[in-house]
Chain A
Amino acid sequence: MTERQTVVVIGAGHNGLVCATYLARAGRKVLVVEAAAQPGGAAITREFAPGYRVSAVAHLLHLLDPVIERELALARHGLSYARSSLVNVSLSPGRPALSLDGGDVIAGEVSPADRSALQVHAARMQKFARVIARQHARVPPRLRFESWHDVLPAAAVALDIRLLGRKDMREFLRIATMNIYDVLEEQFEHAGIKGVLALDAVLGTRLGPRSGNSVYTALYRQSGSVNGRSGALALPQGGMGAVSNALVSAARIAGVEIRCGAQVEEIIVREGRATGVRLRNGEELRADRVVSNADPKTTLLRLLGARHLETEFARRVQQLRAVGTAAKLHLALSGRPQFRGLPAGLLGERLVIAPDLDYIESAFNPAKYGEFSAQPIMEVTLPSLHDASLAPAGHEVLSAVVQYAPYDLKGGWAAGKRPFLAAIMAVLEEHAPGIGALVQHAELLTPLDIEQQFGITGGHWHHGELALDQFMMLRPVAGAAQYATPVAGLYLCGAGCHPGGGIMGSAGRNAARVIAGGR
């Protein structure tokens, strides 16, 4: 090779930036093109009302790969945490708030049986989550079984499961496809414990607690670590944009060029090979490799076009389930809200409105028919309590993930947004009387808004359901799960690939390894 290999990365989301940085470090000449005016994709901090700033989509950091954090020296590039271990608080108007930190009960009345069951459950889930975590940094194996080269990676996965030991292995194989409802009912009496633990199994998915495979989502959520503490939840100082800023800084130091305001219109294919991209303004950028951080449907069906794909493969991409059901609520508050039964010291924690399993299941039911929850479940945070940079003095920001809000709402979101916001506010008012009077400004991002503002198909912030039929070698679809697409020179590096969504960066790092490895 006389000239340096050139790579164009579509999208400056966190995975695109990670991928670009590793490729630049591996000696490639890398250009990242981003449609938005600023890099970061859905991991940005933005002003949603004068003086109030908030993490626009993802608001809690819990999956960022510590290896990437270290290798890219993100701390040196400005990433720090306002809080690195939020605890869970289950809110219910009828009982004192229950607060859990992993397997420990910090506040609330819990029976001794539940207390010890919680210890056992948390430790076991943590152990199982480590099996999943171990897969994050691996390129998913292909199940060809033609040579040892194929068998070994698959055997490594089997070995991870076997190393759990006989008893835990059996339990892992039993619960891996179960629903969280049954698993929790087997162990706990306290409705609040079950509610708060079930939330992790359904957040960001189109599943209810009684839906099979929801245990997997719960394990997935716990598979990360912050500051060496597994399963922890963190608030980056300055909001989620701080992660992207650090990644941008690391990328630039590595020699990556980033162009914002450059929307890719098409991936150029010549003689069956991706040779570059065409921007909306008509400009063509040539490259030896094209890497897309856009979601798989956008990349393969819109930017590339199904005509370049084999029918069977195109069909699989079309069938990829990526219908968002989570909405994001931002409130600019003129003061601190007071939640019923919540000690003031816990206001800044992760407040969970999912009082029991049936409440969550009932919230889920309408989503099956394209309706929003009349009584939604919520994950509420008040980041400004830990980070004064987000709101004017004495004022606060409330940031909440709200479910269920199906992307394909019957009657459309233009008509549905206002009544949904009213339903959300009614639930909040019930838990925090008087909160409505504090609201200076409210922003509700429905999945449709997320799609339009961040270019993610279906507004699904994991770029595709995190479900067992779409994981590892099946993510996003068989035939593209090893980051290379069937079109030579075209790769995927986003959350639609293994290991999936959440601000993690592993997909970007794995993709870079495949591309730099020249496979």
Chain B
Amino acid sequence: MKYDAIVIGAGHNGLCNAAFLARAGLEVLVLESNSYVGGAAVSRELHPHWTYSNCSYVCGLLRPEIYRSLELARHGLQIVPYGGGVTFTRDGDILGGYLDKDLKRRELARHSARDADAYMRYGRDTMRQCRLIRSLLLRTPPDPSSLRWRDLREMMHVGKEFAKLGEAGIYDTMRFYTLSIADYLNEYFESDVVKANFAGSGIIGTALGVQSPGTAYVLLHHYMGDVDGQMGAWGFARGGMGAVSQALAAAVQAHGGEIKVDAPVARILTRGGRACGVALANGDEYYADTVVSNVDPKRTFLKLMDPGDLQPEFLARARNFKIRGSSGKLNIALDGLPDFPALGAGNPLISGDMHFLDSLERYERAYDDWKNGSWSKDPYLDLLMPSLTDPTMTPPGKHMMSVFVQYVPVKVNGHDWTDADREAFKQTVFDQIARYSPNFRSLVLHAEVRTPRELEAEVGLTEGNIFQGELTFDQLFFNRPFPGYAQYRAPVRGLYMCGSATHPGGGVMAAPGANAAREILRDLHRGSTVPEGWSDD
């Protein structure tokens, strides 16, 4: 059976890519190894009547252009903004990130009057960096070593965006990209808890510590999104993250695309030096002149391809791609709403993210544990109870807790995770939560523990890295995934990459899938169906 294009993997980028290709009139087949679509953006019932967004858990980066262009609202996707966030301190206090500006300012001032003033500058400066990067998200990175007109023009575009910043702005941007999140925050704030409150966004999902240069940039991967036109805001997809995937899948099908689940691809087929289709694990073969991989580059090039089809130097690039597992997750079904005494009754902050590290030093020590081969003994948690915002997730009166954990290694002290390790890891996380919520343990009905191993086994993300590759500059923009291959084309003709390992990287953004579709349609001399550029409402 021959298609125009085959997409390997029904993650959100694969689906987004397929939707744009189908919309251009291509006959598209999406092959997914799991029995459900979505990759790491899924909602699953792992405890009767409790729905878990068991991997990615919040939505804020999904590009609004894609949302509109693929009519995801019509396909059932609804994003509900949630409010605030809070950092608990060891001495029983909190720092509340109230949505109300005055309230937030007063809260910051309670910890440091100077920091409350600095927050204005911090917000302004950080948003300026967001604006710059947002202008590059839905564009194909130029190859700076190329003299082709298209690359030169794109370089000019980037240059112009930079020039718009003005001289001082350019210097600030250059510094921003090479600073550590700790150094960046130290430039604005004096209070430990204020710095700690903002630091998490610099390290989530990365194998870097708050003192590692380059982490200030990672902040943007948490700030550059928007919900309802509010930049930097986050929301829940109603029904869990699977709703994003379901809507994208519906868009694929609405344009005539076909999706097959339980269809694990074992090999990418080539003929005469170009991709011609795929072979499934059960031996079935599907053919197409265009093959798109939503799978990470290590899997794509080192597992699905015959090494003979690739140059040794390229294989070395794939082997050296930095894709390190550093995060884990606990999904917990609760019999009721746990108390957090430091919040006080009726505090709206309970429906936002909760964090328990109150100093940069604790963050850095958490990273040191990971470097030494263990999970953090005093980890960074990003804890949310989505059932407070979206009651469809649990039975009435019950709740669910999503706990993202940083840092968690791929191997524990060099050996594979054992059940005992997993249990001890769970207790580490429980201990931290219980310290701030005395009745938490007694409410636990079920807890799913996910280490990088599970993420790799289930979702197929190598080492369970949530971004499909570290977000350091050697793997960003024109370097993502590899220098010379950032324009979504693999070295084999007819083969493309569309996962988070390509520009602009991870997060449920769907931009890589859309950008890859634009390049494919270009090679096929079809008109583009992909929105370009960017609208800053």
- Chain A interface residues toward B at CB < 8 A: 142-145, 162, 166, 169-171, 173-179, 182, 186, 207, 210-213, 319, 321, 361, 365, 368-369, 467-469, 473-474, 478
B371 touches A174 (CB 8 A): no
B364 at interface by CB-CB < 8 Å: yes
Jot down 28 A-B pairs with beta carbons below 8 A, ordered by A: A142-B167, A143-B167, A143-B170, A143-B171, A173-B144, A173-B478, A174-B474, A174-B479, A174-B483, A176-B473, A177-B178, A182-B474, A210-B212, A210-B371, A212-B212, A212-B213, A212-B472, A213-B178, A213-B214, A319-B186, A319-B187, A368-B211, A369-B361, A369-B365, A468-B213, A469-B178, A478-B167, A478-B172
B145 touches A469 (CB 8 A): no
In the assembled complex, which residues on chain B have CB atoms less than 8 Å from the CB atom of A368? 211, 361, 364
Give the residue name and chain of the A residue nearest to B216 (CB).
Answer: A469
Interface bracket on B: 35 or more
- Chain B interface residues toward A at CB < 8 A: 144-145, 163, 167-168, 170-172, 174-175, 177-180, 183, 186-187, 208, 211-214, 316, 320, 322, 361, 364-365, 368, 371, 472-474, 478-479, 483-484
In the assembled complex, which residues on chain A have CB atoms less than 8 Å from the CB atom of B361? 368-369
B474 touches A175 (CB 8 A): yes
A177 touches B183 (CB 8 A): no
Could you tell me the distance in whole angstroms from the C-beta of A411 to the nearest C-beta in chain B? 15
In the assembled complex, which residues on chain B have CB atoms less than 8 Å from the CB atom of A212? 178, 180, 208, 212-214, 472-473
In the assembled complex, which residues on chain B have CB atoms less than 8 Å from the CB atom of A174? 474, 479, 483
In the assembled complex, which residues on chain B have CB atoms less than 8 Å from the CB atom of A166? 145
B145 touches A478 (CB 8 A): no
A173–B478 CA distance with the chains assembled, in angstroms: 9
In the assembled complex, which residues on chain B have CB atoms less than 8 Å from the CB atom of A179? 212
Q: Pick the contact of B179 from A186, A469, A473 — CB < 8 Å?
A: A469
Could you tell me the distance in whole angstroms from the C-beta of A132 to the nearest C-beta in chain B? 15
Q: Pick the contact of A474 from B171, B186, B478 — CB < 8 Å?
A: B171
Could you tell me the distance in whole angstroms from the C-beta of B469 to the nearest C-beta in chain A? 13
Give the residue name and chain of the A residue nearest to B173 (CB).
Answer: A143
A178 touches B178 (CB 8 A): no
Could you tell me the distance in whole angstroms from the C-beta of A158 to the nearest C-beta in chain B? 9
A369–B316 CA distance with the chains assembled, in angstroms: 37
Give the residue name and chain of the A residue nearest to B316 (CB).
Answer: A186
A460–B521 CA distance with the chains assembled, in angstroms: 55
A175–B163 CA distance with the chains assembled, in angstroms: 25
Q: Which 3 A-B pairs have the closest CB atoms?
A: A170-B483, A478-B171, A212-B213
> Contacts A171-B483, A213-B178 known; A182 to B187 CB distance under 8 Å?
no
B174 touches A474 (CB 8 A): yes
Give the residue name and chain of the B residue nearest to A144 (CB).
Answer: B167
Could you tell me the distance in whole angstroms from the C-beta of A143 to the nearest C-beta in chain B? 5
A211 touches B483 (CB 8 A): no
Give the residue name and chain of the B residue nearest to A168 (CB).
Answer: B145
In the assembled complex, which residues on chain A have CB atoms less than 8 Å from the CB atom of B177? 177
B145 touches A162 (CB 8 A): yes
In the assembled complex, which residues on chain B have CB atoms less than 8 Å from the CB atom of A186? 316, 320
Could you tell me the distance in whole angstroms from the C-beta of A284 to the nearest C-beta in chain B? 35
Could you tell me the distance in whole angstroms from the C-beta of A423 to the nearest C-beta in chain B? 19
A365 touches B368 (CB 8 A): yes
> Contacts A173-B479, A174-B483 known; A211 to B167 CB distance under 8 Å?
no
In the assembled complex, which residues on chain A have CB atoms less than 8 Å from the CB atom of B170? 143
Besides A162-B145, A174-B474, 20 new A-B residue pairs in contact (Cβ under 8 A), listed by A number: A143-B170, A170-B145, A171-B483, A173-B483, A177-B178, A178-B472, A178-B474, A182-B474, A186-B320, A211-B213, A212-B212, A212-B473, A213-B213, A319-B186, A368-B364, A369-B361, A468-B178, A469-B183, A469-B213, A478-B168
